[in-house]
Amino acid sequence: MRFEKPVDITWIAGFIGAELIGNSNGKATGINELHKVEEGDIVFVDHPKYYATCINSAATFIIINNRTAVPEGKALLLLSDPFEAYLKLVNHFRPFAPSMKTISDSAVIGNGSVVMPNAYIGNHVTIGENCIIHPNVTILDYCVIGNNVTIQAGTVIGSDAFYYNKKTNRDVYYKKMSSCGRVVIEDFVELGAGCMIDRGVSADTIIGAGTKIDNMVHIGHDTVVGKNCLFAAQVGIAGATTIEDNVILWGQVGVSKTLTIGKDAVVMAQSGVKDSIEGGKGYFGSPVVEAKEKMKELVWIKRIPALWEKVMGK
């Protein structure tokens, strides 16, 4: 999430009740997760496993619960519960603001675009030119739709990330990590009916130009889909995944989180992708292997009864 204007880090430290260590003259430009941080960003960390990674990341300001050395030019914001500090910042800079109109007064809709009955367009949504938004589509706050985009009935864009902070020392183990990111749909994208595209936790979920998505597809938070991809019905993609240009995922493919599918890859129906895979190849199976190898394996499996009979017959 980018702030509307840079914010003095001293103000932020006071607002969340943190001790400021290091650069006290800086200005924060946004808040982000570790895998998306840029210079000027605030990031939080509350687990020793990630201390060093966060401190040495591109982030300039680190909300942390451990006193440690800080690189030159950066600052630590030291307090006991970084996660609660993150929530306080998100709720301050991007608070929940209900809109009771079907099209919010703050939404911007380009020339030639059509929004059909019962569609809901939230606060600060931007829709480009020559788009068709079919009935019962929901586009939630701050999402961006490019030009010449078609969204079929019942699709939801910008639902909250399925993302929770787990602590076993509290009655409710899983506490929701508020989503302050967006969904960005680029030009000439087509989305089928009943799709669900989650907003980024703090950055953007992106659907690249020219991509076509069938009915009942789910795309998780912070996933970046490249240009001219093709996803068939019931594909499910977990969060923070990168899918490069021209990838084809056939029906009911499941894709795990934080991996990369390379350019021009094709994944056959009902396959499961648990790790990153190279581009330019076909894949099949769960977990996937190259399709030609999987087909050989299936041929040998079919031959097992005959081989067994031959062995036992001796």
Q: List active site positions.
A: 221
d(CA 203, CA 18): 24
The rounded distance, in Å, linking the Cα atoms of 86 and 51 is: 16
Secondary structure element (H or E) that encloses residue 185, with its range: strand 182-185
Classify residue 147 by its DSSP letter.
Answer: S
Nearest one of 50, 74, 31 to 177, comparing CA atoms: 31
CA 173 to chain centre: 23
* Alpha helical stretches, state H, 47-181: 51-55, 82-93
Q: Which residues contact 190 (CB under 8 A, 6 or more apart)?
A: 149, 150, 151, 152, 211, 212, 213
Mode of pairing for the β-strands spanning 164-166 and 236-237: unpaired
Q: Which of 50, 19, 16, 45 is nearest to 32 (CA)?
A: 45
Handedness of CA 44, 49, 53, 56 (dihedral sign): positive
Indicate the residue type of 208: G
Task: State how far the alpha carbon of 189 is from the alpha carbons of 96, 156, 185, in Å.
Answer: 28, 15, 7
